[in-house]
Amino acid sequence: MNGFFYGKLACGNLKKNGRLYLPYILAAVGIGAMYYIMVALTGDEGIMEMPGAVELKMIMSLGCGVIMVFAVIFLFYTNSFLMKRRKKEFGLFHILGMEKRHIGKMMFWETCIVGAISIAGGLLAGIILYKLVVLVLLNITGLEVSFGFRISIPGAATVAACFAVIFIMTLLYNLRQVQKANAIELLHSGSQGEREPKTRWLLALVGLAALGLAYGIAIVTEDPVGAMLLFFVAVLLVVLGTYCLFTAGSIAVLKMMRRNKGYYYKTKHFTSVSGMIYRMKQNAVGLANICILSTMVLVMVSGTVSLYIGVNDIVNTRYPKDFSITGYDVPDQEKAALKEMLLQAAEESGLTVGETTEYTTLGITAWKSGENIKLAASETERAEGEICIFQLITLEEYARCSGDQQELAEDEILVSVRQGEEGDQAYSINGLNFKIKGYVADLDLEGLDNNVVFDGYFVVVKDNQVLDQIDKIQREAYGDNASTRNYCIYADLSGEAQQKKDCGRRLEELIEAYNQGKAEESHLAARLDIKEEQREGFLIFCGGFLFLGVFLGFVFLMATVLIIYYKQVSEGYEDKGRFEIMQKVGMSPKEVRASIHSQVLKVFFLPLVMACIHLTMAFPMLNRLLALFNLRNPQLFAVCTITCVGIFAVIYGIVFGITAKAYYRIVGEQK
């Protein structure tokens, strides 16, 4: 038998099994196209020359890695469905006289055909869709749309090489599966797993404990930085708990349903519950995969959509006014010069300076344990305390900015708690003792709390002499890493966005000249932040994340749909014989349909319900993670999350209707 014969036989087999292979090929084409788009975006010279290119490249490189890892796992996983359905076919070939090496050659040609179609289709789809994707990316990031059509040769070569390796790996796996099984095992492979699984209470309890611990971490963790560190621990616990509960817990629940005689001995429930118990070990893995993928889609899309929609909140929190000038350790006699630069730039640009806020503050990092505040803490002191940010201003600055007139002794302070413990009577800062005279309302000073992700305390001291004492302590403690005393100016200007940018460029020139005059210092003397420029930067950053989140969300959604489809098709073939028997003993087609509907409904919507529970319990932690990006708007995040869940549920329901019909068609086919 020559290669042409095996190729023809392989084509016939693929055509005969089109119901199984067509979704597999379409999925491979889709993943290949998306991987090409990501690789091409990473190397697109036109995009890399634009503002924010570094951030975009970092985000796209992350997407490349995620898609590649996912492609390997997903294609292997779906390949296992194909092999399970075809082992009986291979066994029949073997009994009819084909040796395993002949079957191997046939499988080689099948893999070559499927791989060639998938790679070629993926590249073609990727090349065609690439320009559309670029337009979408540039639109959501606010960047200038470029003209022209590009084909990334390195990107195409990378896709072809990577997917060729994946298909070779699946071929080797399939050959090994056939090689180690005899003809009888291949013929009866479809009947494996019929023994009723045992109820494994220990595994179910492990799953409950893992989910309970993960949910506890998500709810209890208050610190955004702590949330970031513990997030991946919680994710691993959720994955472990989901697999354990679906594998062991589902069987326990089904057996409890079976013990409920009033429920179990109804025709539509009897067949579905008994059938699900016998195959739950295999089904549980598929259900857990669907649940985890659904959770990933909801978390990624809701989080990135919230960041993108909330970009104005982020910018307004970090940069409350049009211009922010920060002078580092600026002598009192030079503060007026910095303000004069702002007035000069505004006058030259034809703009007027509006509301202005200015103050001097000293920000220090310390470890707080009760009333004891330690700078440059030892390992023991760090373990016992909580890292905090203290912002200190003088009473004169406080009165001028807030209008609140107070009196303080040298050893007295006022405290405003932005985030942390309230109720202390005194503070001891490296041995320097202060009595807390009182707590004041939140200090509404622009920019003072824009980066507080740790516990934050605003402290008002009597005068500059006291501030000098604390400054001396922190410089001795931290040396070259000590904080500077910052003179901050926040100002709004009248005019359009472009006029403000022009004014900003002139102000940058003036501040750069000022910094050059301080060239002997180890740090910049002053820095300028322009709100409109920062808005553009954040729009690129958040838009890039939105693009990646929706892009990967679509990849995972496609995987979810395909796993659901294969699971229902696989169950349909396995249930076909059972329902034929039930019809022969008197079950009507209507009763068969009702039983199918009952089974598919339970199996199908359980992962969605569980994914929603995961998302609900993760909401507090996700909200704190968004605070790291300065998005502190739980209402916005809640609305985005609910909207994403609703859209996802609609898509999920549509897939349910399609798979239920496919399931019934298979079960209702006549031999």
Position 181 scores a pLDDT of 66
Position 146 scores a pLDDT of 63
> At 116, is the pLDDT very low, low, confident or very high (cuts 50, 70, 90)?
very high
Q: Which domain holds residue 86?
A: 1-187
Answer whether residue 192 is part of any domain: no
Position 122 scores a pLDDT of 92
Weakest mean pLDDT among 55-64, 337-346, 535-544: 55-64
Proportion of the chain above pLDDT 90, given as a percent: 12
Structure tokens at 184: 């009888």
pLDDT(585) > 80? no
Mean pLDDT of 209-230: 83
Task: Evaluate the CA torsion angle 643, 645, 649, 655 in order and state its sign.
Answer: positive
Q: Which residues contact 43 (CB under 8 A, 6 or more apart)?
A: 152, 154, 155
Position 160 scores a pLDDT of 93
Position 635 scores a pLDDT of 93
Weakest mean pLDDT among 268-277, 293-302, 503-512: 268-277
Find out whether 150 and 134 touch, Cβ atoms under 8 Å.
no
In this structure, the answer to whether residues 474 and 343 fall within a common structural domain is yes
In this structure, the answer to whether residues 72 and 181 fall within a common structural domain is yes
Domain count, the chain: 3
pLDDT(646) > 90? yes
Q: Which of 486, 504, 532 is the last residue of a domain?
A: 532
Kindly report the average pLDDT of the chain as a whole number. 81
In this structure, the answer to whether residues 575 and 641 fall within a common structural domain is yes
- Residue 198 φ/ψ, nearest 5 degrees: -80, 155
Find out whether 569 and 84 touch, Cβ atoms under 8 Å.
no
In this structure, the answer to whether residues 292 and 397 fall within a common structural domain is no
Strongest mean pLDDT among 114-128, 278-292, 497-511 = 114-128
Weakest mean pLDDT among 116-130, 250-264, 441-455, 614-628: 441-455
Position 162 scores a pLDDT of 92
More confident: 568 or 275? 568
Beta strands in 289-424 (DSSP E): 323-328, 353-369, 372-374, 386-394, 412-419
Q: Which of 156, 187, 218 is the last residue of a domain?
A: 187
In this structure, the answer to whether residues 56 and 94 fall within a common structural domain is yes
Q: Residue 522 carries which DSSP code?
A: S
159-181 pLDDT tens trace: 999 999 999 999 998 888 877 76
Mean pLDDT of 135-141: 79
Position 457 scores a pLDDT of 87
Position 615 scores a pLDDT of 94
Find out whether 325 and 474 touch, Cβ atoms under 8 Å.
no
Position 47 scores a pLDDT of 66
> At 613, is the pLDDT very low, low, confident or very high (cuts 50, 70, 90)?
very high
Answer whether residue 263 is part of any domain: yes
Find out whether 227 and 262 touch, Cβ atoms under 8 Å.
no
Answer whether residue 294 is part of any domain: yes
Question: 526 forms bridges with which residues in the sheet?
Answer: 327
In this structure, the answer to whether residues 290 and 160 fall within a common structural domain is no
pLDDT(72) > 80? yes
How far is residue 323 from each of residues 315, 328, 400, measured CA to CA in Å?
12, 16, 20
pLDDT(451) > 70? no
Mean pLDDT of 535-555: 83
More confident: 189 or 475? 475
Mean pLDDT of 424-431: 88
222-247 pLDDT tens trace: 777 677 778 888 888 998 999 888 88
In this structure, the answer to whether residues 10 and 128 fall within a common structural domain is yes
More confident: 475 or 145? 475
In this structure, the answer to whether residues 498 and 559 fall within a common structural domain is no
In this structure, the answer to whether residues 368 and 440 fall within a common structural domain is yes
Distance between CA atoms of residues 127 and 123, nearest Å = 6
CA angle 133, 136, 142 (to 5 degrees): 140
Position 423 scores a pLDDT of 79
Mean pLDDT of 450-459: 73
Answer whether residue 193 is part of any domain: no
Distance between CA atoms of residues 354 and 493, nearest Å = 5
In this structure, the answer to whether residues 83 and 181 fall within a common structural domain is yes
Proportion of the chain above pLDDT 70, given as a percent: 83
> At 84, is the pLDDT very low, low, confident or very high (cuts 50, 70, 90)?
confident
In this structure, the answer to whether residues 392 and 282 fall within a common structural domain is no
CA angle 318, 323, 324 (to 5 degrees): 60
Position 402 scores a pLDDT of 79
Position 168 scores a pLDDT of 92
Cα radius of gyration (the chain): 32
SS (H, E, C) 134-146: HHHHHHHHCCCCC
In this structure, the answer to whether residues 465 and 356 fall within a common structural domain is yes
Position 193 scores a pLDDT of 46
pLDDT(575) > 80? no
> At 296, is the pLDDT very low, low, confident or very high (cuts 50, 70, 90)?
confident
Q: Which of 532, 564, 580 is the last residue of a domain?
A: 532
Mean pLDDT of 54-63: 74
Mean pLDDT of 62-71: 82
More confident: 336 or 643? 643
Helix (H, G, I), strand (E, B) or coil at 455: strand
0.75 cut: is pTM over it? yes
